[in-house]
Amino acid sequence: MHMPWQNGETDKKKVISMSIPQPSWWERLREFAQNSRRLDIVARAVLAIFGSYGFAGLVTVSLSWALPMPPAQAVLITMMLSFALMCALAIWAFSAASAWRAWGVALLLAAIPAVHLLLKEILS
């Protein structure tokens, strides 16, 4: 059987690297995405700072319409609760097992008010 290192290559490092299977570019990307600590922290921070604000905003608008009380009170109470929501999402962003999971759950939860508002737009 003809092995690549039998081409007459004598450099030891090259022979060794030729015999270990190299990961493809997407395998390298996945490794980086899952194991880079810096990326993990940055992703969580973006979720905690900007994602939480967006999420709280969506829920505020959605609940302001959805709550069964006079509109003035509904708007007020959702505004007041929004900050607790922001904090909860920030804590989740850093407590989740991975940044991927943090973002995934956050996007899923954000889909609920988003869909509600979309339907409201379409049906009105």
Partner 1 sequence: MKALGFRQANSWLHTWVGLLLAWLLYSIFLTGTLSFFQSEITLWMKPELHGSQPDANTPLRALQAMQRLAPNAEQWNIVLPGERDSVIEASWTEPGQKEGKSLTLDAATGEPLQARETRGGQFLYRFHFELFNIPYPFGRWIVCIATMFMFVAIVSGVIVHKKIFKEFFTFRPGKGQRSWLDAHNATSVLALPFHLMITYSGLLLFMYMLMPWGVESVYQGDVRQHIQELGLRSAPEAKPPVTATGVPLVDPAPLLQQAEQRWPRGIARITVSQPGTDKAWIEFHELGNAQLSESRHREPLRFDGVTGQPLPSPPRPDGGTSAAIYNLLTNLHLLRFASVELRWCFFLSGLLGAAMIATGLILWVSKRLPAQQGHTPFGSRLVQVLNVGAIAGLPIAIAAYFWANRLLPVAMAQRADWEIRSLFTAWALCLLHPLLRNHRRAWIEQLTLAALLYAGLPLFSFALPGSHLFATLAHGQWLVAGMDLTLWAFAALFGFTAWKLVKQPLATQTRPLRKVREAKEAPV
Tokens read off for 70? 């006079």
If phi over 0 gives left and psi between -120 and 50 gives alpha, with beta otherwise, what is residue 8?
left
- Rounded distance between C-alpha atoms, residue 5 and residue 8, angstroms: 7
What is the nearest approach in angstroms of partner 1 to the Cβ of residue 121? 11
What is the nearest approach in angstroms of partner 1 to the Cβ of residue 14? 32
Pick the closer one to partner 1 by CB: 23 or 71.
71
What is the nearest approach in angstroms of partner 1 to the Cβ of residue 8? 43
Residue with tokens 């889909």: 111
Contact residues toward partner 1 (CB under 8 A) are 34-37, 40, 48, 56-57, 60-61, 63-65, 69-80, 82-84, 86-87, 90-91, 94-95, 97-98
Backbone angles phi, psi at 96, to 5 degrees: -65, 155
